[in-house]
Chains A and B, each alone.
Chain A
Amino acid sequence: MRRRVIGAVSGIATTMFLAGCATNAPQDTWKPKGPNAKIIDNLQKPVFAVAGIIGVIVTAVVITAVIKFRDKGQPIPHQSHGNPALEITLTIIPALILTVVGVFTFRTVFDLAKTSDTEMIINVTGQQWWWEYDYPVQNEYGITQPIITSGQLVIPAGTKVLLRETSRDVIHSYWIPALNGKRDAVPGRVHLNRIEADKPGIYAGQCTEFCGLSHANMRMEAIALSKADFAKWVANQLKPYTSPAENTLAKEGEAVFMNQCTRCHQVNGMKRADGTPVIAAPDENIVSGAAPNLSHLMSRNTFAGATFDLLNKTCRKEVWGADSESFGAKYLSGVSEDCLNQTDLRGWLRNAPGMKPMYSNPALLASTGGKYRGMPNLGLTESDIEKLVAYLLTLK
């Protein structure tokens, strides 16, 4: 009975495990898509195999003992206190196995820490509950002035990118499983994490250090583009701001935006009627001191810490499902009015904390000196929302 149960259970478990691995999860740690993740994968697969074999052996020995030596009326065994030779052998064998694993681990740790061959640098800053990316000036990629974006990290494929991670408030962790292991972003410190994608595509990730209320909603994606496509992306990001044409809904939206949103959100190049630049002051309103820069918002696919899609279901499927050749063009086309995920964007503008839990209850702001953590409910009217959506769609 016992034997059959154990057999059945282990059989089912093995089958399930193997079948379970056949799915196509976007954050699968066993499907590396870049050299760094592959280095890790090459190390961990043999370790898993060895651990698995040892596990099977131990279980088999225990089950054998359970069956073979169950009380069948045999005499009480000799009261032997052990067998030191056997004991020492069985100590040395695992020690040896671990030594071999240790040597390879040692090498891999230092391989992964190498940064001397970096080809591109991006500063990554975490805050509750989104990621900011800042591309310092790197003329070889056409980045002639700093680019600031958020949520989706755009990198050229086949390029060794070094992420310099830090945080503005609590500890976060940057993790794109297909490209590399995770690395914490710690306030006050700069941590290095290198990533490289073999092919163009979209690689999902998630903040993995518990960072407060909306930790579950702090996501990110890495977008790898071919070098040519990346140059196009850079050029688009550096495109100067154009105010919407007069007497359009979008122009009215710009006014609403200037009135309501620029306290925290920067749109580069935006000017007031008198010609002075509009500079956001998130440090006065938000604990972390930053809010996503919304210049070229519609060149991204997601918003609110990559929690929500800017693309509706159909268009999203096209981008996520694209093969590596056609991916670049699809991503670069950005978000058009037809593709816009109206429900979530409008819902967000209507009541942001209702969609993503954030500490924006005014009653709880005493300890922060009145500063919010995350976007509060702005109490916008439906017509304001209509105008804002029209305006945001112009931020290509």
Chain B
Amino acid sequence: MAIIERSITSTEALVSATPSSSLGALKRPVATTGWKSWLFTVDHKKLGIMYSATALFFFIVGGIEAVLIRLQLAAPNGKVLNADLYNQMFTMHATTMVFLFVMPMAAGLANYFIPLQIGARDVAFPRINAFSFWALLFGGIFLNLSWFLGGAADGGWFMYAPNSGPIFSPSHGIDFWILGLQLAGIASLAGAVNLITTVLNMRAPGMKLMRMPIFTWMQLVVQFLLLFAVPVITVALFLLSFQRNFGATFFDVSAGADPLLWQHLFWIFGHPEVYILILPSFGIISEVLPVFSRKPLFGYPFVVFSGAAIGFVGWGVWAHHMFASGLGPVSVAVFSISTMAIAVPTGVKIVNWTMTIWGGKLQFTVAMKFAVGLIVLFTIGGLSGVTHSVAPSDTQQTDTYYIVAHFHYVLFGGAVFGLFSGFYYWWPKVFGKLLNEKLGTWNFWMMVIGMNMTFGPMHILGLQGQPRRMYQWTEARAGEGFFNLAFWNRFASIGSLVLTTGVLLFLINVVITARNGKVAPLDPWDARSLEWMTSNPPKEHNFDSIPTVSHLDEFFHRKYEEDANGQMVKVKTAEQIMKELEDNADAHIHMPSPSYWPIVLAAGLPVIAFGVIYSIPIAIFGGVIVLFGAYGWAIEPSTAPDDDFDPPATTKDVVHVG
């Protein structure tokens, strides 16, 4: 597996090494265009795009669910949804946004940009990469099929036992939820192993860990978090699965169990998960802010180590989700303190971003606007987080809308704004066209206003005692006066429509750009990191020759040098640097061949899942598909043979790298 490259034996001009035909099942597919080139691809860039497209689709699905929730709550005794449907809606909204939007979107960006940022030609295990994507896509589809097969999961995304047991949730919704998440979990685990190996082993010469772009760093931390957090939820889901389908009693009190076991397992996963969601966005804006401030990231090592510190301390705070669960004062006090401790490295990041723009030469492109928006909105979310790290105060706030407000400021104002910043920043890199800045500005302001209108009032709602997860609220508990809870509920619902408009503007922007967007120059933002040292979009092999890295912000330092007065002056253009790389192009770069098997193997997984729910023979059939896929994977040649290439290879030497 891994990347296979011919040894460089000739100095002839770059030869395209793309297979042109395929022969039989044992050969690898060779299509470079058309649907086959996407279905069987192992190219990290294509997979990155597919990941992101999938995520964007589920973002729309989750967004529709959110709007339905807000419509239901716009007026007292809402009648838009019934209780059952509402419970499914908020469960699936959270599940979709967490597992099927933010995580895959971050994975998509990681897939696309990590190899580019570290100067590699692909990830370490390209076929596993493809498998991860398909497993995620099938998992997401499987999860959402429950809507059409008797109703979705209705236990909340936290799925507390025993309410998630077969007695209390007799439909198959939770079974679909469990198995769908298992599939997504397989995808995350495989992806994590892949990206960790890639980052640790495949960096360009000279790129020490402390010269790595900060986005790659944050993604590395995230992948480690995934590697250790996903197994925990996998175990928990297995326990629940056995309880629901095979009569186990892991959470059954009359059999001597303790239902709090589920909460511990869930939150030991669930809390690191929060950092899995937010750190990629931290990475993105740590790239964007320096570029548009024309300054390096302030305190790069501090940002790196605070990210790693968040990754570590994130494991010691899970019980702050359980301050009201009755853990006893000692646990509560300890977890309260450790939760406050994690605010420190998070604060460090905010300080560093602020200091990065301080004294800079700021250009307010849309990407920059989203990044600065993140600093402010995330700070609000972070500070409301500190208020309920104080455990006694949390017992008043937990499970109220105050918490909803808190984590939407963190996850929407933080994670989602970071991702949007990334969209605008990297769009020209991926598609070669610039997203419309004017429309983007509208998009940004609509989202800022909409998000504050939607989630801002929730602070008030929560502090004035409106609990979460209620399908209706009554006027009896809404208080009096003009600014009563009814007013704020209505206000938030209107805000959600403004927010929706903002997101729609983005989608319109995408369509307009695709139709007649401005073709992006080679280096539209005067950027700093390696991913910009190649064409837009990058060639299949990323770099004509692998650059040797001697600086953090390598690209910037190739373009700019200090003159005698200590002023930074441009010494080279991006085009000149590209030309240099092209002139030294490696001969005969051999990229990993596409493969049939990742999608076959992944397709077996949802079949097994269906079987677990409906009938064991189907599960066996799915198992056969998986085995068949694994067998095909094992016997397929490690690359398409030379005859498949056009023009035929000049040498038979094949060197396995990595």
Contact = CB atoms under 8 A, between A and B. Distances in A.
A and B: direct contact (Cβ < 8 Å)? yes
Interface of A: 5, 9, 13, 16-17, 19-30, 37, 39-40, 43-44, 47-48, 51-52, 54-55, 58-59, 61-62, 65-66, 69-71, 74-84, 86-87, 90-91, 94-95, 98, 101-102, 105-106, 108-110, 112-113, 128, 165, 169-171, 173, 175, 177, 180-184, 186-189, 191-192, 204, 206-217, 219, 287, 357, 359, 364, 366-368, 373
Contacts of B562: 79
A214 B83 CA distance: 7
A106 B354 contact: no
Contact of B294 (A23, A76, A90): A76
B621 interface: no
B359 interface: yes
Interface of B: 82-84, 87, 154-156, 160, 162-163, 166-170, 253, 257-260, 293-302, 324-326, 328-329, 332-333, 336-337, 340-341, 343-344, 347-348, 350-352, 354-355, 357-364, 372, 375-376, 379-380, 383-384, 386-387, 390-400, 445, 449, 452, 456-457, 459-460, 462-473, 476-481, 483-485, 488, 552-553, 556, 560, 562, 566-568
B285 to A, nearest CB: 12
B336 A29 contact: no
A211 B463 CA distance: 21
Given A47-B387, A74-B361, A173-B399, 5 more contacts: A23-B480, A27-B466, A170-B168, A188-B257, A210-B399
A165 B82 CA distance: 30
B329 to A, nearest CB: 4
Contact of B295 (A79, A175, A180): A79
A90 B353 CA distance: 13
A19 B487 CA distance: 12
B294 A25 contact: no
B359 A102 contact: no
A44 B82 contact: no
Nearest to B551: A79
5 nearest CB pairs, A to B: A27-B465, A181-B395, A25-B479, A216-B470, A82-B299
A305 to B, nearest CB: 13
A70 B115 CA distance: 33
A62 B374 CA distance: 11
17 contacts: A5-B445, A23-B479, A27-B465, A55-B383, A62-B376, A79-B296, A81-B299, A83-B299, A84-B299, A87-B348, A94-B344, A105-B337, A106-B333, A113-B328, A187-B259, A214-B83, A357-B83
Given A23-B483, A24-B480, A82-B300, A109 B332 contact: yes
B354 A61 contact: yes
Nearest to B491: A16
Given A79-B296, A215-B469, A69 B360 contact: yes
B329 A69 contact: no
Contact of A76 (B326, B336, B567): B567
B438 to A, nearest CB: 14
A110 B329 contact: yes
Given A44-B392, A80-B296, A189-B260, A69 B361 contact: yes
A77 B361 contact: yes
Contact of A26 (B156, B299, B364, B465): B465
B476 to A, nearest CB: 8
Nearest to A42: B392
Contacts of B259: 171, 186-188
A69 B260 CA distance: 52
A182 to B, nearest CB: 5
Contact of A98 (B295, B386, B394, B469): B386
A109 B364 CA distance: 46
A307 B399 CA distance: 19
B183 to A, nearest CB: 25
- Interface class of chain A by DSSP: mixed
Contact of B395 (A23, A71, A183): A183
B653 to A, nearest CB: 43
B361 A71 contact: yes
Contacts of A209: 160, 324, 399
A9 B452 contact: yes
Contacts of B463: 21, 28-30
Contact of A216 (B83, B399, B462, B465): B83
Contacts of A112: 329, 392
Contacts of B260: 186, 189
B156 A171 contact: no
Given A23-B484, A25-B485, A212 B324 contact: no
Chain A CB within 10 Å, residue with most, of B156, B167, B380: B167
A184 B362 contact: no
B387 A51 contact: yes
Given A101-B390, A212-B163, A81 B300 contact: yes
Contact of A105 (B392, B464, B473, B556): B392
A40 B449 CA distance: 33
Interface centre among A65, A128, A373 (most CB of B within 10 A): A65
Contact of B479 (A28, A101, A184): A28
B364 to A, nearest CB: 7
A40 B354 CA distance: 33
Contact of B399 (A76, A80, A165, A208): A208
Nearest to A316: B476
A44 B300 CA distance: 35
A51 B357 contact: no
Given A69-B360, A80-B295, A177 B391 contact: no
B340 to A, nearest CB: 4
B302 A51 contact: no
Contacts of B302: 82, 84, 87, 91
A95 B324 contact: no
B572 to A, nearest CB: 15
B464 to A, nearest CB: 4
Contacts of B400: 29, 208
A27 B299 contact: no
Contacts of A70: 362, 364
A113 B372 CA distance: 43
B162 A170 contact: yes
Nearest to A76: B568
Contact of B360 (A77, A214, A364): A77
A213 B83 contact: yes
B326 A69 contact: no
Given A82-B299, A181-B395, A210-B469, A29 B170 contact: no
A104 to B, nearest CB: 8
